[in-house]
Amino acid sequence: MKILLVGNGAREHCIAETLKKSKQSVLYSYLKSKNPGIISLSKGFETGDYSDLNKIKSYTHKIKPDFAFIGPEDPLSNGVADLLISIGIPTIGPTKKLARLETSKSFTRSLLKKYKINGNPEFGVFDKKNIGNAKKFIDGLSQCVIKPDGLTGGKGVKVQGDHFRTKKEAFDYCSEVLQAHSFVVVEEKLEGEEFSLQCLTDGKTAAAMPPVQDHKRAFVGDKGSNTGGMGSYSCENHLLPFLEKKDIEEGLKITQKVANAVYKETGEFYRGIMYAGLIKTKYGIKLLEYNARLGDPEAMNVLPLMETDFVDVCGAITNQKLNKIKIKFQKKATVCKYIVPDGYPDNPAKNLKMQNYIMLLLNRRKMGFTPQAQGLLHALG
């Protein structure tokens, strides 16, 4: 099985490792920038931009993969899945139209509303013409969340109480968002524990992977800027300390209904990942957002636990046979912790060697060299 993997991050390295566990797989990769981990697992690779559809097309023609797996949101929003499908390559990853579940917060909220699917908070969508109404809407909410209607690398959403205090600041941020985006979504702020439910889908059936909790704030104690995710964990029993089985069932039910709704809306089956960002509130499970890809770091929590051959799982997605296989995960707890450069995420220091950087961190924090840290330093040479 020749597989083309698109993506260059830690998440895609983890996807590559999981695909490589299968004896059937021969991996090729297309990366925005070189990742030695992915390259060492690949029989061949090409580097280039995710918007360079001609380059991706000619590399695909060269290697003739049996299927492709698209990791990050950028190639999805640039239409790489549309391109691959149009040249006959079965693809894990939604087309541009379907990826709107992630790229357009207003699309997803309106879809849930139209198809009467549970999980929406109170929300309003505003543009430059009706921005005046946003003020009244914000005034009617006890606290609000402001979301740009587009991709922002996890850093555009602002929450009252965390990132700003007053309703005036909320309104000012709406105006700021509309300088760069066509729409802004204003939502009632939900209180509760957040979790990530990454689901695989072939467009007809959705299957949930073990839930994960991701911690997004840059500093200890949930302080500092929002990041893509600083660290995450999952539990041995495939629940989280604040979750019951029925909560997972509800999250999956929402996702199954959304998969059906996007088909009705677009006439296209969604083949790929529907990662639901959910929150357990006192009113039940609510949807914060969808991502059209695996989470980073959450992929690292679940993929290494997968016992079922991942290539078979991908085949079941592309052939719409997900209802025919049982996907098994080891009963183990996992923890993933990112080490990031100083200044991350706003102004990260560049060109520091990881080894020096880890020494610096350990010294600065007056930490001893634990066996794990020694192991890490040793592994880095």
- Shortest distance, position 74 Cβ to ligand GLY, whole Å: 13
Burial class (CB in 10 A: 0-12, 13-18, 19+), 325: middle
**Residue 229 engages ligand GLY in binding (rule: CB under 6 A):** yes
Residues 6+ positions from 1 with CB-CB distance below 8 Å: 22, 24, 25, 26, 66, 67, 311
- Shortest distance, position 291 Cβ to ligand GLY, whole Å: 5
- Shortest distance, position 284 Cβ to ligand GLY, whole Å: 22
- Shortest distance, position 67 Cβ to ligand GLY, whole Å: 23
- Shortest distance, position 35 Cβ to ligand GLY, whole Å: 17
- Shortest distance, position 292 Cβ to ligand GLY, whole Å: 10
Count CB atoms within 10 A of the CB of residue 18.
22
The contact mask relative to ligand GLY for 80-119 (x = CB under 6 A, - = no) is ----------------------------------------
Nearest residue to 122 via CA among 26, 77, 189: 189
148 vs 228 by CB, closer to ligand GLY: 228
Residues 6+ positions from 326 with CB-CB distance below 8 Å: 308
155 vs 321 by CB, closer to ligand GLY: 155
DSSP letter string, 237-306: TSS-TT--HHHHHHHHHHHHHHHHHHHHHHS----EEEEEEEEEETTEEEEEEEESS--TTHHHHHGGGB
The contact mask relative to ligand GLY for 181-220 (x = CB under 6 A, - = no) is ---------------------------------x------
214 vs 250 by CB, closer to ligand GLY: 214
Nearest residue to 352 via CA among 380, 330, 372, 333: 380
Enumerate the β-bridge partners of residue 201. 206, 272
Of residues 7, 9, 203, 228, which one binds ligand GLY by CB under 6 A?
228
- Shortest distance, position 325 Cβ to ligand GLY, whole Å: 25
Binding residues for ligand GLY, rule CB under 6 A, total 8
Single-letter amino acid code for the residue at 69: F
With residue 310 as reference, give the H or E element that holds it.
helix 310-318
154 vs 345 by CB, closer to ligand GLY: 154
Residue list 146-185, contact with ligand GLY (CB under 6 A): 154
Residues 6+ positions from 139 with CB-CB distance below 8 Å: 167
30 vs 195 by CB, closer to ligand GLY: 195
Residue list 245-304, contact with ligand GLY (CB under 6 A): 291, 295-296, 298
- Shortest distance, position 343 Cβ to ligand GLY, whole Å: 20
149 vs 309 by CB, closer to ligand GLY: 149
10 vs 174 by CB, closer to ligand GLY: 10
The contact mask relative to ligand GLY for 305-344 (x = CB under 6 A, - = no) is ----------------------------------------
- Rounded Cα gap, residues 155 and 149, in angstroms: 12
Render the burial of 357-373: b for 16+ CB within 10 Å, e for the rest.
bbeeebeeeeeeeeeee
- Shortest distance, position 40 Cβ to ligand GLY, whole Å: 24
For β-strands 2-6 and 67-70, DSSP reports them as: parallel
Q: Which residue is nearest to ligand GLY (CB)?
A: 229
- Rounded Cα gap, residues 381 and 119, in angstroms: 48
75 vs 295 by CB, closer to ligand GLY: 295
Nearest residue to 145 via CA among 177, 181, 113, 108: 177
- Shortest distance, position 139 Cβ to ligand GLY, whole Å: 31
Residues found near ligand GLY in the complex (CB under 6 A) = 154, 214, 228-229, 291, 295-296, 298
